[in-house]
Each structure stands twice: as C-alpha cells, then as structure tokens.
Structure 1
Amino acid sequence: MSGRVVVLTGGVGGAKLVLGLQQLLEPANVTAIVNTGDDFTHLGLHVSPDIDTLLYTLSGKSNAAQGWGREGESWNFLDALRSLGGEDWFMLGDGDLALHVLRSMRLARGESLSAITADFARSWGIAIDVLPMSDQLVATHLDTDEGVLPFQRYFVGRRCQPVVRQVMFEGAAQAKPAPGVCEAILADDTTAILIAPSNPYLSVDPIFAVPGIRDALLAARAPVVAVSPIVGGDAVKGPTAKLMRELGSVVTPQAVAAHYGDVLDGMLVDERDARVNLGIASVHVDTLMTSLDDRVRVAQAALALAAGIR
C-alpha cells in the first residue's frame, strides 16, 4: 500500500499492531496517534505509559514477556524508595526513569509533550511519527463502587477490581489535538486510518474525547478500519470484557462497532467470533498477535480491508 497510514493506539495491543505496520511499510509513512489519558504525575514525574510502551516496542527495548516496560530492567531505585517508606504500587524501573525524568524536566521548561516525544523517538532510531493525542493534560477517571479513581489507581493500584459505572476524561473539553494529529488524518496522501485493538473505553475514547479528532475522522477521505479487541467472545488481556459488561454492553465485535459508531467504515474481526452483519465492511481473520509474524499478518489484513473499502 502506498501513501500514509494513520493508527490510533494505546496499550500493548496497539503497540503490537504498530510494530506490524513498521515491518510492512516505510516507517516515515506511518503516523501513530497515542492515547495520553493514562498519563499521570507520580513521585513528581510525568509518566506517559502508552507513549513509552510504543517507544519501547518500536525500538526493540520492550520486555517481550510482559509486553510493557524495558527488557533487562533493574529495580534499585524502587528498592531504595521502598526502604524509605515511599509509594511502590506503581513500578518504576531504573532504565524507565530516564524517560520520566527527562520528560518532566523538559515539560517544566515549557516544552510540549509532542516535541519531547518526537525527540525520544528520534534518539532511538524510530522513523514512525509518534504523536500524543494532545499536548494538554487529559486524565482518565473512573466512577466505581469504590468512588472516583484516577486511571492508574484503578488499573495498577486496584488491578481493575472495582466495578465501573462511568468513564470520564478530565480536561478533554479544553484540550486541543497535538500538532500533526488532524493534519495526518485529513492528509490527501493518507490511504488508511486504523483503530488498534486497544481498549475502546480506556485507550480509544480518550482520543475521541479531544475536540476536533472525531470530526477529522468523520471528514477523512481515507477509510477508518478498526481491529476488534474481542477474540472468541472475550478480551485477550486487560479489563476490556469486564468493563464492557459493567457498562451494560455485550462482549462482541458488534458492540465495539456500535460503540465507535459512524466513525467506522470497516472492522477486522477475529475468526473465532460469529459472522454477523455489522452494517459495515468486515473480514474475519486470526487476530491474535503472539509473534512478530502474527503482528505483520494482522496489520496486512487491516490494510487489505482498508484498500478494499477505498
């Protein structure tokens, strides 16, 4: 496929798809728009988990076994912190700290998150455009049976155990798309826009919540194709299925397609899920991405579906 491919992404599943695209396409022709609703301040440091997961994955530095964090990480800082009675519920490895310290230092000087992210990517030889969804802070909060919890307290601190009633994105109404985000979506040379198999509520909805991004997707000339995060009626990992049930949805690709609504032109559905009419173009394939070959195969199938729609 020639032209630019834009992918909306968050979490480990999203990073896998972008890695597959990196193998198939000229990296300079790929733009990843990354969820930053997970960003938070911890121990005085600005942490951007989804951006960092993608940077680690594309640069070959990620921990392959767990899918997040750095390979060969050490924990001397955390051990020292714990010995002093510091908060240790969120794991900060020694190598991981470099990103957070540099990012926090540069943000304090008034630099933008998008400029800092671009520099990090360049330093690690990543040619893909990695764009945060916004340079302004958008914070995901969840209204649960334990009260309102910031995303990381829910996801890491409480391991997704509380029952969720509502997902909210504080600051979204005042935020603006980061430079290049809407431009990539609307560019004449963009031939496909993919929504990664990320959590629709926690990774994709924060991107949609930034004013202007959903409108750009609706106005885009390129087809918008989602890769379903559902495999055989369940989620591969994470709280997607649990969250869908708690918010009153059934755990099916149809429900995900309905959630995204008129933004979607097509969906890649796992072969283990029922073949039903989604009201949009769809193709069933094996969407599990265990190996690098799997990631390439799923990326290729998503691009083929987009090309067929186009």
Structure 2
Amino acid sequence: MKSLSLAVVLAIATPAVAQPDIKMTSVPAPDQSAAIPLYPDQPTVKAGQDEQWSRMQVTIGTNAMDNVMVRNVVRPTITPYLPDPAKATGAAVIVAPGGAFLSLSMTGEGSDVARWLADHGVAAFVLKYRLNETPRDDRAFLAMMGARFADAAKPGAVRTIEEPRATQDALKALMIVRSRATTYGIDPARTGMIGFSAGAMTTLNATLEGKGDQRPAFIGYIYGPMTDVAVPADAPPMFSAIAMDDGLFKRQGFAIVEAWREAGSSVELHAYERGDHGFGAGKPGTTTMGLMPQFYAWMEARGLLFKRP
C-alpha cells in the first residue's frame, strides 16, 4: 500500500473557492460477494485494468471526509442493504455516491447512507456506476481531480462534467431492483434514488432521461448543481439539500428547485447554514446531521413508508 499527499498540486489547479487537500492511500478491494453485476455478460477485466480502491482523506473548505473510494469502474454493480423484515416499509432507495465522475465515495455517500436507510426499514442499494477513465498513477489522478474541482467551480461549466454511462447504469439498477421486488420485499412504485454531488447529477439524469416507470419514483438531490434544468411535467417528487457555504455551488442560487416548482412537480428544499460540499449523511456540529431523518420524514409524509400486508 502507498500513501500520497498532493495538496500543493491541487492548490495550484483549484481556485480559492474550493481547494481540496487530499491524502490517498491504496487499499485492497473490499469483499464484493454480495454485489450484483448490472451487466453479468460483460467480459472479464484484464489484470492491470481493473478498478482501483483507496482510502481518501479529503478536506474541502471546512469539511473533512475520510472515505473508502473506488475509481476506474468498468463493471458496475449494486449492493443490497436490506432491512429486518419485521420493520421493512416496502420502500426502496438506490444510493448513488459522488466523486466528480472520477471516483466514488463508497462509504460516506454509499454504505453509510444505505445502512441508515436499512436500519429504518428502507431497502437500500449502493450503485457503483461507471466513471470517466483516470490515470492509474495516484499522483496523476490527484492532479486530474484538482483540475476537475476547478472546472466544477466555474459558472456554467458543471454541466459539461458528465458520464453518460452512469445514467445508463442508474436506469439499469432501477430495472433490476424492481424486477426483483418480490425477492426484496419492496414495492416497485415506491422505488426511488438518492444521490450526492455527481451522484445527484446521475440521479437527476436518470429522472430526466428515463420514461414513465423507468425513472425513479422519487429522488433525493443532495448538493448537486443548482442551475436551471428543463423539467418534464410528470417529474417525480424531489427532496433537495445543500449547505449555504457549499464550496462549489453556493453562488448558483436555487434555480433547479424553482424549475421543479414551476413545472408543477413537488419539491422540498433544505438549505443548511453550514456543511460545505460533501457532508454525506451529515457533518457533526452542523444541522446537516438532520439530512437522513429529514429525508425519511419527507418520504413518510408522502406516503412512501408503510408496512406491506
């Protein structure tokens, strides 16, 4: 294993609005025996071209994150986190971690969120979606990450940061989960998504590009870009949350929320005073700690949570 700190390179590449200090240590891939391939017929990945796992300690503004992350994903999966049947509500949520489409924050924006939902009776599925290809070398990867943060902070530039295959994977994950509704004890009509940062963008794109019952039934849009989008008239309900001191998107206003409202679709906004970008399931010492309970309460208020007969 190797450890690498590249704050100097990132400070050069990234403007003062969002200077991440990143320390990265390579780690072995975790046990993924419970993961379900989205495309089981994909050919085996050659040695040296498979995904790379690391522990990343990231500071963005006032926010410090310590996550296990993965990059260079080419074989996407979903990993189920199922509730105790005694308290299962029949609702399901696909969890889409973020990472600028260069990596995925698999703990803080993935398994931590999924476990919280499962503990509260909601079946959760962490989506490991395909990403932009990045250098195998850690130093080159971190330089690329710094440049990506710089691009994301530019006005109007964030919509050019994309990975179409992530959207395909989200829609495929929804299809698989719904097709196994009996196995998982869930209601296909109460199957939604929650995404963080690039995962929020993936969730949004699945909503905008999916048709009818292909799209999520409801969405959690957590510190994604707040710029305007064209919202279809039959868009599902949105729960949106962001910190007012978000290092990437705090200057964008709330245009996406207004667009949802003007389209006649239900939307709820939580704008926390502090939390910066990447607070995951909640940053201690801030009101972002209410994120998951508030998302759950919103689901309950919409009639999404009830025990199956």
TM interval, short-chain normalised? 0.3 to 0.5
Alignment TM-score, normalising by the size of structure 2: 0.41
The structure where helix makes up a greater share of residues is 1
> Higher relative CO (CA 8 A, sep ≥ 6), structure 1 or 2?
1
